[in-house]
Structure 1
Amino acid sequence: MTTKIEWTDETWNPVTGCTKISDGCTHCYAATFAERWRGTPGHHFETGFDITLRPERLRLPMTWMKPRRIFLDSMSDLFHQDIPDIYIAQVFAVMALTPRHTYQVLTKRHGRMKALLSRPTFWHLVADQGRAHFTGCQEDWLAVGAMLGGKPLLNVWLGVSVEDQKWADLRIPALLETPAAVRFLSCEPLLGPVDLKRAVITMGSERGHGLTASYVHASGCCERRFHGIDWVIVGGESGPGARPMHPQWARSLRDQCEWAHVPFFLKQWGVHAPEDHGHDCGAVALIDTQGHSWNGREALAPPDMVRMRRVGKKAAGSLLDGRHHTAIPAAAR
């Protein structure tokens, strides 16, 4: 399905539906859209946003001959607990058999992603499901052989959603410990400051030692692509009830990425834009760098308080300090 998401070419939804798991899910656009149709006989979303497997869509990327960047499950989360391992294996088999495409897999279920993709038995399941269901296609089992040998698929990028520091500290370490050719973060909606340089990976005491590592590694680090974060996407929230994104949160992530030579992509401000961008109409939201609201208490606000105007997604745009930021990583090497 053609998409308006700026950092991809297509969306592919072999599953639809999800359940809310963290603060970033509060105003989920996909749930809002799907639930509008719950109970409508014959509609694609007749069951609303309940988890629904769509096996008739599994072969869709095989019909796309031109190489594309494909965002997997924009209307779901592939690692949701209600999606069977065997079905996830079928999805990975399709990705293995279409190396011309680049797949962007984003999840909030970091624990299941790490556990599943770190298991050799899962990759054997991928191979078995590929042979059972996708024979007769142009098969590239060299990719599957690489997986069975412990190497990640080069055309599959894995990402986690990071809306604030709490979820950065939980999801990023799991992502770094998951086999992947390219790892990325979707900091959208960005709801608070995120420090990617802080060392927070601490191995369990049963290992007999502590291990710390920075999320983002500076250029020149040995095999940096496989040890850190390769891409950071940032965006504010849109839709009813949207919460504003403080400009300093976006600037900080931009600066961290510049320091580490990591591609940075600012997708959107959301429906709120900084007042100093020239917007002088729309409801005002006053927030500080910790995300606290100062509406009705402006005289008491700290110096880091900013005035954000609700001007709509289109008017807010994506300029940060006068520039668009649209960097995307090169294909995995």
Structure 2
Amino acid sequence: MGDRTAIEWTDATWNPVTGCTKVSLGCDNCYAERFAERFRGVAGHPFETGFDLSLRPARLEQPKKWRQPRMIFVNSMSDLFHKKIPCSYVDLVFDTMEQAAWHTYQVLTKRSSRMRRYVNLRYAGGAAPAHIWLGVSVENGRFLSRVAHLQGTPAAIRFLSLEPLIGPVGRLDLGGIHWVIVGGESGPRARPMNIEWVRAIRDQCRSEGVPFFFKQWGGLTPKAGGRTLDSREWNQVPYAASRSSALRQMSGLAAE
């Protein structure tokens, strides 16, 4: 975690919370849990308590110290809308995002109803600032209710992370959705992803004019299967991300 990351669709990660609990099938082989549990019991290590839910108030100010604009994935090692994270603490995370507004933040959750409720209360009568993107994770067609919750959340950019994709999602309602990311599972117990599931999503995105980003096939490691679909890479991003990328290049950061 820090101001660099290997995740293809972002620049940096920021983890003011770590640890989580399983909420649906996509959590079964959680990469973050697998990583954190390796260090359980190691005295002084950030993950000495493994993947137990832990608030990290010392990290709340971290983005303010990164002066160059970045695309920041918030809580890659947790879920900001976990029911045991107090609203007062979520407030502090949003305070930092609002204050360090030269960055773009990507907030991704499986607890979509809590996110909808929180954002509608915080920005009553308005919408989240344009540099705070809000997304939901969906692993198959059983959890499309999360998409509906996202559509009811006021945000300039709403995105779907269909990863790990472990089954077909069927017909997607892409109304009000600005970006779709698809990826396969990785790790020693990775479940395979069918190419037809991916093609069906890509084709719906193309039909609706929604940017489509194919992250990986997955396998034993994230890079094991590559990231080409039908002989090409799919790296589409929302227009706002293209503008952010240009800003970063002008600021001297490495080009994507």
Common fold by TM > 0.5: yes
1:323 aligns with 2:232: yes
CA change 1:313–1:10 in 2 (3 A) is closer
User: C-alpha separation between the residues in 1 aligned to 2:156 and 2:95?
Assistant: 16
- Letter aligned with residue 52 of structure 1: S
CA change 1:54–1:242 in 2 (3 A) is same
User: C-alpha separation between the residues in 1 aligned to 2:35 and 2:230?
Assistant: 33
Structure 2 equivalent of residue 306 of structure 1: none
- Deviation digits for residues 280-307 of structure 1 (CA, Å, limit 9, x no counterpart): xxxxxxxxxxxxxxxxxxxxxxxxxxxx
Unaligned runs of at least 5 residues, structure 1 = 124-146, 198-214, 218-227, 272-309
User: C-alpha separation between the residues in 2 aligned to 1:187 and 1:34?
Assistant: 23
Q: CA deviation at 1:180?
A: 1.1
Q: TM-score, normalised by structure 1?
A: 0.70
Selected match of 1:160 from 128, 136, 139 = 136
Structure 2 equivalent of residue 31 of structure 1: 33
Q: CA deviation at 1:89?
A: 0.3
Are the counterparts in 1 of residues 218 and 224 from structure 2 also a CA contact under 8 Å?
no
Are the counterparts in 2 of residues 39 and 46 from structure 1 also a CA contact under 8 Å?
yes
- Deviation digits for residues 18-66 of structure 1 (CA, Å, limit 9, x no counterpart): 0011000010010011111112221111111111111111111111111
Q: CA deviation at 1:313?
A: 4.0
User: C-alpha separation between the residues in 1 aligned to 2:171 and 2:62?
Assistant: 36
1:92 aligns with 2:94: yes
SS in 2 for 1:118: helix
- Letter aligned with residue 156 of structure 1: I
Q: How many residues align?
A: 240
- Letter aligned with residue 324 of structure 1: E
User: C-alpha separation between the residues in 2 aligned to 1:60 and 1:314?
Assistant: 29
User: C-alpha separation between the residues in 1 aligned to 2:171 and 2:211?
Assistant: 14
CA change 1:91–1:196 in 2 (3 A) is farther
CA change 1:322–1:21 in 2 (3 A) is same
User: C-alpha separation between the residues in 1 aligned to 2:142 and 2:106?
Assistant: 23
Structure 2 equivalent of residue 64 of structure 1: 66
Selected match of 1:248 from 165, 178, 196 = 196
User: C-alpha separation between the residues in 1 aligned to 2:29 and 2:107?
Assistant: 21
User: C-alpha separation between the residues in 2 aligned to 1:148 and 1:270?
Assistant: 40
Are the counterparts in 2 of residues 236 and 245 from structure 1 also a CA contact under 8 Å?
yes
- Deviation digits for residues 75-102 of structure 1 (CA, Å, limit 9, x no counterpart): 0000001111001000001111122111
Are the counterparts in 2 of residues 196 and 216 from structure 1 also a CA contact under 8 Å?
no
Max Rg structure: 1
SS in 2 for 1:233: strand
User: C-alpha separation between the residues in 1 aligned to 2:130 and 2:19?
Assistant: 27
Q: CA deviation at 1:151?
A: 2.6
Q: TM-score, normalised by structure 2?
A: 0.90
Tell me the percent identity: 57
Q: CA deviation at 1:173?
A: 0.7
